[in-house]
Amino acid sequence: MKKLLTLVTTLLVTVSLFAQEDMTFQANVTNKNGDVLFIKNGRTIVKEIKADEKGEFKATFPIKEGLYQLFDGAEYAQLFLKPGYDLKMTLDGAKFDETIKFTGKGSNENNFIAAQTLAEQKFDYNGMLALDEAAFNKAFDEKLNGDIARLDKQTGLDANFVTTYKAGISQGLQGLKQYYAQISANKKLNNTKSPGFDFENHKGGKTSLESLKGKYVYIDVWATWCGPCRAEIPFLKEIEAKYHGKNIEFVSISADVQKDYDKWKNFVTEKQLGGIQLYADKNWESDFLKAFGITSIPRFILIDPNGVVVDADAARPSSPKLKEQLDKLLK
């Protein structure tokens, strides 16, 4: 679900043509997740605000008008900032999204964002993605028009904010439409013969999909630089242990580029990764990855003993759905 919320609610940071001038930001945070608040523009840290001796955060700093992210060490919130703002925030770090509130100059825009964030969390994106194409397109239009209408009805908002946020709504939902198209394409691969591979094995030689015929094959496409991929590793190890000795092989295919080849070799060794560890011959351009339309990772694929695709977008190791599926298949 977080993946979907990120996909839909993440808006590109846009910067106005106004000169960079100062603004003031204050925060009173209970149950702090850290002693530093970070204001970020994508991966760039714009400002670090350290807690004073009273545990409060306050800073005056130059800013360009636009959308930014606030990171408290554990969670993110989106902010709209501009020169001249005197923004005050209160927050309970244990109930982040539910408690974030703003006062002062700039509060209208940021309270609107906070309310929209909560509304997004309650929206049933999974249900929307399960619809057929006609129903999805209808739901898409209703969601887009509803979000824009809600923004237009809000009074007292900065005009540039409205323009920027409206563009972000459209862009985020277009991302959802692309994701729906990817899911639909994945479903068409189910119950078809899987494309093959013949990749370098970390233990030496090569391993092909054909050589694994007669067993179920659960494939993890990943890379050493991918945070969400690494987060799945402990769960994958648990799954491998649970089904050890069963009629299934666990295969991890690295999409690391050539310059990171040694990094992959060392990572597999140092982290004691199990299963069959393979290196894709042309990373993202490998025929196997392209055949499955893989443009983001991690991606999991389940293939049956006859080489037929069971699920082209299988559940992650951290999902209870994977155990449910494997329990049925490996009785």
| Residue 179 pLDDT | 87
With respect to residue 188, please indicate whether it lies within any of the assigned structural domains.
Answer: no
- How many C-beta atoms surround the C-beta of residue 41 within 10 A? 17
For residue 271, being part of any structural domain is answered with yes
Q: Does 298 lie in the same domain as 218?
A: yes
In a domain, 215, yes or no: yes
| 222 and 160 belong to one structural domain | no
pLDDT for residue 9: 46
- Do 81 and 25 share a structural domain? yes
User: In terms of domains, do 160 and 24 share one?
Assistant: yes
Residue finishing a domain among 183, 214, 231: 183
Indicate if 151 and 220 belong to the same structural domain.
Answer: no
Task: Give yes or no: residues 178 and 204 share one domain.
Answer: no
Residues 206 and 322 in one domain: yes
Of 137, 153, 183, which residue constitutes the final position of a domain?
A: 183
Q: What is the pLDDT at residue 234?
A: 96
Q: Are 277 and 233 part of one and the same domain?
A: yes
Query: Are 161 and 208 in a shared domain?
Result: no
Q: Are residues 6 and 119 in the same domain?
A: yes
In a domain, 154, yes or no: yes
pLDDT for 182 equals: 85
Residue 273 lies in a domain: yes
pTM: 0.69
Cα–Cα distance measured from residue 166 to residue 183, given in angstroms and rounded to the nearest whole number: 26
Domain boundary among 141, 156, 183: 183
**Do residues 167 and 275 share a domain?**
no
Query: 265 and 234: one domain?
Result: yes
- Full 3-state SS string of the chain: CHHHHHHHHCCCCCCCCCCCEEEEEEEEEECCCCCEEEEEECCEEEEEEEECCCCCEEEEEEECCEEEEEECCCCEEEEEECCCCEEEEEEEHHHHHHHCEEEEECHHHHHHHHHHHHHHHHCCHHHHHCCCHHHHHHHHHHHHHHHHHHHHHCCCCCHHHHHHHHHHHHHHHHHHHHHHHHHHHHHHHCCCECCCCEEEECCCCEEECHHHCCCEEEEEEECCCCHHHHHHHHHHHHHHHHCCCCCEEEEEEECCCHHHHHHHHHHHHHCCCCCEEEECCCHHHCHHHHHCCCCCCCEEEEECCCCEEEECCCCCCCCHHHHHHHHHHCC
How far is Cα 16 from Cα 164, in angstroms, rounded to an integer?
10
Task: Name the domain count of the chain.
Answer: 2
Print the domain residue range for 264.
198-329
The pLDDT averaged over each successive group of 10 residues in the chain (331 residues) is: 47 42 96 95 94 94 96 94 97 95 97 95 91 95 96 95 94 92 89 96 97 97 95 96 96 96 97 97 93 93 97 95 96 85
In a domain, 164, yes or no: yes
CATH number of the domain that residue 214 is part of: 3.40.30.10
So what's the pLDDT on residue 79?
97
